[in-house]
Each structure stands twice: as structure tokens, then as C-alpha cells.
């Protein structure tokens, strides 16, 4: 029987899902070499596939249908990355890459007697898909041609200047963010000079690999163009200069061709310079300053037709110094920023940022409260960290102290008066023997100027230890934080959060993990599967070879804020079962 | 049988197909991929290129200062580098810390007494080619011909033993790695 849509229907198989499967199956062939004498003759093809099937469960019941789990649904995500690589004898290289994502929902609607009782929607009204409750997105495509002295990138590129204060668009899959600049990027090296130019429109990844894909909305792209010059080898000094311009798309522009952004007026201009001195006085120095010009009133939360608007300014200064006396390593960092976060006005709601200033905080324990300081428009402070290596590097204890003064009380801030933040941390890393371990413990206090507001306080611990067991080895990972609110005006309750795991690796190929989360944080909107605050899960992982892994998960984990690369995102929790497969061919 | 169940069964069928093909594909990967070019600056702003390392066995390791397992793996890589560098082995360590954390990298390298080259991939241009999901740590073994011989995701204590065995096999010119597991596999093309 020919494999037509009608035939599939007779077999009772969903045409959309099978069509998608067929789309994916041909690419699971082994790694291969392209045959020929042209530019790609002898080039190799590499494919990476990430497949995940998630069964979302919930205790919610529809009134009148308490005996049925009609809120449960199934989600399937597949991500394929393809890469063609070629290298020539004279050092030139050519790389062509693509990323195709596919997502589908199953059992996501409940219709009784012709009436829709419940619906979980994959797409909102701004996105249409010929596959119904499935979507295929050609997420990324790039060509990179490198030669001795430079590189040209066409398609999806990433860009970062200096310390990322003016431009920092990069892959941040740690928190499921991958926004690129679709256009062109060129790097030319001429002696000790590097010239980098990038221009294009932003391309936000539509399909999430790790989070539920619900109500996917159309990406409104933004124009980004920048130029940077680096001068190396000025004795111990390196000098950098850069400038970036932005034109942000408005929601009303979603259907316009993205290239129209080039014809519209600029929203923001950022220019900066940095100086790096290596080994001067035994210290490595770095200092960078950036000026922000906001040319349109919407950048500073004013109406677009605000009369007599004059461009407003912002600025950032960041400096660091590292010294290596004896067995110690000392790192000192400092920053001052004023109205720099406004550069992310149009994109932060979509969960990503075009530029970020170093946070100077321990991001593993950032909470809803401290995220406000990360994204503050008026903050200064510094951090000192001292590592000491007494032996051969197998044991390294450290102490760190962060002090910040945050005068911004708008939007994300829970405090009504400026606050001073202090955050000492200590810890160690131990490696070398059968037992490997690391731990960090700290105490953070946000003291408000208005004594009546009190102070937010948090004590936190995270660590892990791996020890040999009778068969294989055991690993225990612990993370906990206890938070006490000051008077924040809306009366949240103090909370304890934990994320713990016990892992048994009986062999190199197998791992069994027990997860346990706890949260009584009222800002976390999930409930545990073992009790209201307690979450439990088990996962079995199998890696039959170094290119392939298969993971089966059952249980629940909590929602919560997670920060990486200067960006913070509230990630949803999960309850149900999950099967994940990853392979490189 | 409900329509939802059929859909679910189809999805599992799809997953199963991929798994089977992957296992087949993993063992049959006789033709090694060309390692994409790398041109990055190290912690002292010196330019390091993969092309300059041709003829050596390269262990490419992606890590970040905030990555706990990476911190545990790095000392083992240093030990491997100390023991085998005279045989034509080099560790090329790629920090995937983004630009705002760049000041932290060299102090960490000093504290851990790492002596192999550490380059900075601040805008994720290189990691997006080798390791598109940015799994950390992530290790890629590149043979003397500049082709990818093996990959390893994550780090668990003891992994360094297997990686070292693979490195030694590549250094001794063996066509296949201990992890390949199939003695009938042909050696990769020579002289390319």
C-alpha cells in the first residue's frame, strides 16, 4: 500500500506525526564523506539528533470529569543539527550548519459530544502550521569560511564585544535560550589588528528543548549592527573600541519583512572602549567603559509619540584586576552601571537580552529578589575572590565577598528604598583521589535604607561528593537555600528550596539517579508530586557508546528562577514521564 | 484503541527507530568527520588555531568556570597532558564562559595550575559547531589527521581512564579506539 495520507488514516496513524517522522528518518544515516572534486569534495557530514518525549501529568481535574486525567498530554520534541565540514591543506576551512526543530503535542484536546472541554495549545494565533498540533522550524543556518587571517560568517552568527556590555548575543542553552543574529559577520586579522563587523536581524529560537512548548508566538526580529577593532601587542597592552546600533521591532511590525528594520530610525546606540594590561606590576588589568544613547522614547518607557523627547543616556564601567602571589590567586572586580538595562526593553519579555553587564554575584543561588539587582538600572559595587592552592592543585579552598549598592527601586525590585547588598561565600574543590568533592556556602543580605523595610537574608549551600561504591561509584549532589524576606510590601512568606540528587554509576554506561526537590516558595507556582512542597523523581541513563545517550525520567521537579550568562529566566516545573535520546552520527 | 493512544504509539515508534538507527550509526562511524576550524585567542590574547596543531592528537575540551563537573575533570586533563605531551598530545581547552565572565578564566587557570592552552569562545561561535547543545563538559578527540575520533558528554569520576586509553590508541597510530568495540572496523583513511 502506498504511504499516502489516506493510507495512514486507514491505518489509524496521525498523518502529521508520521510525516514528521519521515522527515527526520532519512537523516539518521551514519557519518559520511562527500565524494567529488569540488570545494566540498572530501568534506564530512555530521548529524546530531536530540529527541524527547514528555508525558505531562497533573492532579488537576475538570469538574464533572474527576475520574479522567484529561489535563494530561504528551509532547514530543526533536532537534537535528547538521554540519558539513571541510578543511583545506593551506589552512582554509569551510563549515555549513543547519538546525531544524520539530515539536508536536498529543492528547492535548478533550472534546465531548462535539464540545471542546479542554485544550492545550502549541501555537498562539500569530503562528500557523500545516501540521496542526505540530510545528517544524528551520531554526538556524550558517556558512563559515575561514582563512589564515580571518573568517566570514553568513546566516546565523553570534556576537560579543568586550565584556558583553554593548553586545552579547550568544547561545545560552543552559537556560534554553538561543538567539542569533541572522545576517553577516566578518573578522579580519591584519597583523596585530582585528576588525570585527556584524550585522543582521535577531533570530530567536522558537522551539524549546527542555521546557514545555506552549502558545509559541511569532518572533519579532530586531536589527543589530556593530563594529569592533582590537589592537593587540602594544607592549603589555591591548586596546579595543566598539560601537553597536539597534533598531527593535515592535509587536505591530511582526508581519513586516525584518529587513525593514534597516530603513527605520535607530532606537539605541552603544559605544565603548576597553584597555587590557597583562602582567603590569604582576597584575592583569582590564577596564571597559560604555556609553548608551536611547534615541526613541519607548526605550525609556515613554509613549512613542512623546513630544520633545531628547535622547537619554546611560553608562557602564567595569574593571578587573587579577594577581597571582605565591600559591594564591586574587581576583578583584568592580562595576558601576546607570540605565544600561534599558537596552533590553524590547527583548527581556521574550526571555533573552542583547547585552549584559557582569553580575558580580553567585548566579547559582539567584532568586526572584536578587534577579532585580542583576537587572538593575542603577548599581555599583565589587567582588573579591581569593583562591589558595596549598599542594599540587588537588585541593583548592577559596573565599569571596561581593558588595553592591543598588539604588534602583523600579519594576522588578521588591524593595521601596535603595539597598546595600553583602554576600560572603566560601568553598573548596577536592580532586585527585578516589573521592572528589566540591562545596560552596554563603550568606547574602540585602539591607534597605529604610530601616522599617528591614533586610532580605539568605543562607545557601551547594556541593557534591563522589565516592567509590562496591560496584562503580556514588555521587551525592546537594543544593539548598533558606530565604527570609524583609518587609517587601506584598507579604511573601520566607521559604526553603532544595535540589538534591543521588547518582549511582554501576558502570561507565549506566547511571541511576534519584532526585529530590523541596520548595515552599510561594513565588514557585508548581506543587510537588509527593506532597505540596516535596518533589521526587527517578532517572535511568544509558550511554551505549560515546556518541549516544538514552534517558528515561519519571517524577517531578520544581519550577524556579535560573540564571546563566547574566540572563535570568523563570523555568517551569515538570511532572510526568520523559524519554530523551541524544546521538551524534 | 483511542486516537491519542495511536498517536502516542507512533511517537514511541519514532523514538525507537531513532534509537536503533543511532546505535547502528554509532558503531558504523568508520569515516571520521573533519574537525571544524578553530581560531581563538587564549587568556594572554595569543592566537591559537587548530590548523597549527595538525600532526598532533588533540583533546578539545569545552568547559565553563561555573560548571561543577568541569572543575573536577580539568585536573585529570592536566595529568594526561603532563604524561603524554612529549608523544605529540595536546589539550586544547575551550572556555565557553561568556564575555562578562572572561576575567574569571585566567585566575581559575592559575589556581588549578593548568599549563595547556586555554582559549576563550566568548560568543559561542566554536561550541555551536562542535557541541550545538552546549553540553558541559564536552570532550572531542581529534586524530593526527585533524579528524574527530571520539566525543564524550559530561564527566563522571573514572571517565578519564577511558579517555586516556583512547588518546594512547590514537598516539600509537591504532586505527580504532578501545571504545569502538568492533575489531572489524576499518581504519580511517590514511594520509589525508
Identify any residues that bridge with A582 across adjacent strands, giving them in sequence order.
Answer: A50, A549
- The answer to whether residue B88 scores a pLDDT higher than 70 is yes
Domains of chain A by residue range: 1-111+135-141, 149-358
CB contact (8 A) between residue A171 and residue B158: no
* B92-127 residue pLDDT tens: 999 999 898 999 999 999 999 999 999 999 988 899
Chain A CA closest to residue B45: A232
pLDDT score recorded for residue B173: 83
pLDDT score recorded for residue A163: 95
Choosing among 3.60.40.10, 3.90.550.10, 3.40.30.10, 3.30.750.24, the CATH entry for B33-171 is 3.40.30.10
CB contact (8 A) between residue B7 and residue A107: yes
- The answer to whether residue B178 scores a pLDDT higher than 80 is no
Q: Give CA angle at B138 (B134, B143), nearest 5°.
A: 125
Chain B CA closest to residue A96: B129
A64/A110 Cα distance (integer angstroms): 13
Q: Does A2 touch chain B (CB under 8 A)?
A: no
pLDDT score recorded for residue A4: 38
A519/A535 Cα distance (integer angstroms): 8
**Residue A69, min C-alpha distance to chain B (Å):** 13
CB contact (8 A) between residue B17 and residue A21: yes
Q: Are B104 and B27 in contact (CB under 8 A)?
A: no
Q: Are A502 and A478 in contact (CB under 8 A)?
A: no
Over residues B173-190, the mean pLDDT reads 51
Contacts of A28 in chain B (CB under 8 A): 17-18, 21-22, 25
Domains of chain B by residue range: 1-30, 33-171
Contacts of A20 in chain B (CB under 8 A): 14
Q: Which residues contact A362 (CB under 8 A, 6 or more apart)?
A: A400, A402, A423, A425, A440, A442, A460
- The answer to whether residue B181 scores a pLDDT higher than 80 is no
Nearest residue to A53 via CA among A428, A585, A578: A578
CB contact (8 A) between residue A83 and residue B36: yes
- Comparing CB atoms, the residue among A170, A357, A583 nearest residue B22 is A583
CB contact (8 A) between residue B11 and residue A106: yes
Q: Give CA angle at B181 (B180, B184), nearest 5°.
A: 95
Collapsed DSSP state (helix, strand, coil) of residue B42:
strand
- The answer to whether residue B24 scores a pLDDT higher than 50 is no
Q: Which residues contact A398 (CB under 8 A, 6 or more apart)?
A: A385, A386, A387, A388, A426, A427, A428, B111
Q: What is the mean pLDDT of each run of 10 residues along chain A (585 residues)?
A: 39 42 38 71 85 89 78 93 88 92 91 85 90 92 92 96 94 84 96 96 92 90 97 94 96 86 94 97 97 96 90 97 96 96 91 90 81 84 95 88 91 83 95 85 95 92 89 90 86 88 89 93 84 94 86 90 64 89 82
A439-444 contacts at long range (C-beta below 8 A, 24 or more positions apart): A439/A463, A439/A464, A440/A362, A440/A364, A442/A362, A442/A365, A444/A365, A444/A370
ipTM score here?
0.86
Q: Are A104 and B38 in contact (CB under 8 A)?
A: no
DSSP label at A397? Answer: E
Over residues B146-151, the mean pLDDT reads 90
Amino acid at each position: 500500500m502506498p504511504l499516502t495520507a489516506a493510507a495512514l488514516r486507514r491505518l489509524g496513524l496521525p498523518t502529521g506525526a508520521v510525516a514528521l517522522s519521515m522527515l527526520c528518518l532519512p537523516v539518521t544515516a551514519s557519518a559520511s564523506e562527500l565524494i567529488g572534486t569540488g570545494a566540498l569534495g572530501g568534506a564530512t557530514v555530521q548529524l546530531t539528533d536530540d529527541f524527547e518525549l514528555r508525558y505531562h501529568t497533573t492532579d488537576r481535574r475538570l469538574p464533572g470529569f474527576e475520574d479522567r486525567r484529561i489535563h494530561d498530554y504528551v509532547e514530543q520534541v526533536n532537534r537535528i543539527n547538521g554540519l558539513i565540514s571541510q578543511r583545506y591543506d593551506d589552512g582554509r576551512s569551510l563549515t555549513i550548519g543547519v538546525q531544524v526543530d520539530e515539536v508536536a503535542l498529543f492528547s492535548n484536546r478533550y472534546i465531548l459530544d462535539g464540545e471542546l472541554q479542554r485544550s492545550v495549545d502549541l501555537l498562539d494565533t500569530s503562528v500557523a502550521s500545516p501540521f496542526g498540533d505540530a510545528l517544524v522550524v528551520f531554526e538556524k543556518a550558517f556558512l563559515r569560511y575561514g582563512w589564515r587571517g580571518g573568517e566570514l560568517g553568513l546566516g546565523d552568527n553570534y556576537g560579543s564585544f568586550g565584556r558583553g556590555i554593548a553586545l552579547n548575543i550568544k547561545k545560552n542553552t543552559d537556560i534554553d535560550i538561543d538567539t542569533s543574529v541572522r545576517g553577516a559577520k566578518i573578522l579580519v586579522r591584519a597583523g596585530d589588528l582585528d576588525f570585527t563587523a556584524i550585522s543582521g536581524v535577531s533570530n530567536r529560537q522558537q522551539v524549546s528543548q527542555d521546557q514545555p512548548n506552549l502558545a509559541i508566538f511569532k518572533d519579532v526580529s530586531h536589527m543589530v549592527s556593530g563594529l569592533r577593532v582590537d589592537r593587540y601587542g602594544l607592549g603589555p597592552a591591548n586596546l579595543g573600541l566598539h560601537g553597536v546600533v539597534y533598531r527593535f521591532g515592535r509587536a505591530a511590525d511582526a508581519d513586516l519583512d525584518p529587513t525593514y528594520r534597516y530603513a527605520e530610525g535607530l532606537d539605541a546606540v552603544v559605544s565603548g572602549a576597553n584597555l587590557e594590561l597583562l602582567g603590569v606590576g604582576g597584575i592583569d588589568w582590564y577596564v571597559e567603559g560604555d556609553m548608551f544613547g536611547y534615541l526613541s522614547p519607548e526605550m525609556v518607557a515613554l509613549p512613542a509619540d512623546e513630544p520633545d523627547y531628547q535622547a537619554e543616556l546611560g553608562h557602564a564601567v567595569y574593571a578587573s584586576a587579577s594577581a597571582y602571589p605565591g600559591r594564591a590567586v586574587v581576583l578583584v572586580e568592580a562595576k558601576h552601571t546607570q540605565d544600561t538595562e534599558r537596552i533590553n526593553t524590547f527583548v527581556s519579555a521574550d526571555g533573552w537580552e542583547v547585552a549584559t553587564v557582569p553580575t558580580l554575584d553567585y548566579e547559582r543561588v539567584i532568586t526572584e529578589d536578587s534577579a532585580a539587582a542583576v537587572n538593575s538600572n542603577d548599581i555599583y559595587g565589587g567582588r573579591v575572590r581569593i583562591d589558595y592552592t596549598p599542594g599540587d592543585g588537588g585541593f583548592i579552598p577559596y573565599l569571596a565577598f561581593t558588595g553592591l549598592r543598588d539604588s534602583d527601586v523600579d519594576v522588578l525590585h521588591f524593595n521601596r528604598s535603595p539597598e546595600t547588598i553583602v554576600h560572603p561565600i566560601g568553598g573548596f574543590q577536592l580532586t585527585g583521589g578516589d573521592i572528589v568533592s566540591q562545596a560552596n556556602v554563603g550568606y547574602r543580605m540585602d539591607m534597605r535604607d529604610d530601616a522599617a523595610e528591614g533586610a532580605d537574608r539568605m543562607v545557601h549551600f551547594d556541593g557534591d561528593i563522589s565516592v567509590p561504591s562496591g560496584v562503580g561509584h556514588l555521587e551525592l549532589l546537594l543544593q539548598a537555600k533558606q530565604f527570609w524576606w524583609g518587609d517587601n510590601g506584598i507579604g511573601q512568606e520566607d521559604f526553603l528550596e532544595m535540589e538534591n540528587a543521588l547518582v549511582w554509576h554501576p558502570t561507565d554506561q549506566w547511571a541511576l539517579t534519584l532526585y529530590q526537590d523541596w520548595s515552599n516558595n510561594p513565588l514557585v507556582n508548581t506543587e510537588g508530586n509527593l506532597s505540596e512542597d516535596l518533589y521526587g523523581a527517578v532517572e535511568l541513563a544509558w550511554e551505549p557508546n560515546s556518541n549516544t545517550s538514552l534517558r528515561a525520567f519519571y517524577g517531578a521537579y520544581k519550577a524556579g528562577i535560573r540564571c546563566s550568562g547574566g540572563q535570568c529566566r523563570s523555568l517551569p516545573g515538570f511532572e510526568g514521564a520523559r524519554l530523551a535520546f541524544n546521538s551524534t552520527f | 484503541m483511542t486516537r491519542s493512544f495511536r498517536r502516542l504509539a507512533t511517537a514511541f515508534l519514532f523514538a525507537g527507530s531513532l534509537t536503533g538507527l543511532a546505535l547502528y550509526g554509532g558503531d558504523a562511524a568508520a569515516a571520521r568527520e573533519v574537525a571544524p576550524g578553530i581560531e581563538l585567542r587564549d587568556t594572554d590574547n595569543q592566537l591559537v588555531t587548530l590548523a597549527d596543531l595538525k600532526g598532533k592528537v588533540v583533546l578539545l575540551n569545552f568547559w565553563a568556570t561555573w560548571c561543577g563537573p568541569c572543575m573536577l575533570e580539568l585536573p585529570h586533563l592536566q595529568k594526561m597532558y603532563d604524561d603524554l605531551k612529549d608523544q605529540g598530545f595536546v589539550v586544547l581547552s575551550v572556555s565557553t564562559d561568556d564575555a562578562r565572565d572572561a576575567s574569571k578564566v585566567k585566575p581559575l587557570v592559575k589556581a588549578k595550575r593548568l599549563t595547556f592552552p586555554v582559549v576563550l569562545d566568548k560568543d559561542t561561535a566554536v561550541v555551536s559547531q562542535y557541541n550545538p547543545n552546549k553540553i558541559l563538559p564536552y570532550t572531542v578527540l581529534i586524530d593526527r589527521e585533524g579528524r574527530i575520533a571520539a566525543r564524550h558528554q559530561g564527566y563522571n569520576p573514572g571517565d578519564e581512564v577511558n579517555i586516556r586509553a583512547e588518546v594512547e590508541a590514537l598516539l600509537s597510530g591504532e586505527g580504532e579506539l578501545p571504545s569502538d568495540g568492533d575489531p572489524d572496523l576499518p581504519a580511517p583513511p590514511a594520509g589525508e
